[in-house]
Amino acid sequence: MEIRKVYRSSKLDVSSKDNYRVNDEVLLHNPVVVKLIMADGQGVNEISTSEALKMAQEANLDLVEIDSSANPPVCKILDLRKLKYTMQKNAAEARKKQKSVDTKEVKLSPGIKSNDYEVKLRSIDGFLRSGCKVKIYVRFRGREMMYPDQGYNLLTKIKNHVSEISRVDYEPKLEGRQMIMILSPK
pLDDT tens-digit map of 35-72: 888 877 777 778 888 888 888 888 888 888 888 888 88
Mean pLDDT across 88-103: 86
- Percent of the chain with pLDDT strictly greater than 70: 89
pLDDT at 15: 34
User: Of 96, 123, 141, which residue is a domain's last?
Assistant: 96
**Domain check: are 85 and 158 in the same one?**
no
In what helix (H) or strand (E) does residue 87 lie, and over which residues does it extend? helix 80-97
**Domain check: are 144 and 89 in the same one?**
no
Please tell me which residue, 30 or 131, carries the higher pLDDT value.
131
User: What is the span of the domain harbouring residue 119?
Assistant: 103-185
Dist CA 29 CA 46 (whole Å): 16
User: Of 76, 96, 116, which residue is a domain's last?
Assistant: 96
Record the pTM.
0.50
Assess if residue 149 is contained within a domain.
Answer: yes
User: How many distinct structural domains can be found in the chain?
Assistant: 2
Residue 125 pairs with which residues in a beta bridge? none
pLDDT at 112: 94
Give the model's confidence band at 9: pLDDT under 50 very low, under 70 low, under 90 confident, else very high.
very low
Whether 123 shows a pLDDT value over 90: the answer reads yes
Please tell me which residue, 173 or 11, carries the higher pLDDT value.
173
Cβ neighbours of 108 (radius 10 Å): 20
Please tell me which residue, 78 or 100, carries the higher pLDDT value.
78
**Domain check: are 113 and 68 in the same one?**
no
Average pLDDT, the chain: 84
The residue among 69, 58, 4, 2 whose CA lies nearest residue 35 is: 69
| 148 upstream amide cis, omega within 30 of 0 | no
DSSP-derived secondary structure letter, 8: -
**Domain check: are 66 and 132 in the same one?**
no
Residue 109 contacts by C-beta under 8 Å, 6 or more apart in sequence? 138, 139, 140, 141, 144
* Beta-sheet strand order (sheet of 33-37): 21-22, 62-67, 74-78, 33-37, 44-48
pLDDT at 5: 53
The residue among 73, 36, 71, 72 whose CA lies nearest residue 53 is: 36
pLDDT at 53: 86
pLDDT at 4: 59
Residue 131 contacts by C-beta under 8 Å, 6 or more apart in sequence? 99, 101, 102, 185
pLDDT at 14: 32
**Domain check: are 112 and 144 in the same one?**
yes
- Is 118 in a helix, a strand, or coil? helix
The residue among 24, 174, 30, 181 whose CA lies nearest residue 103 is: 181
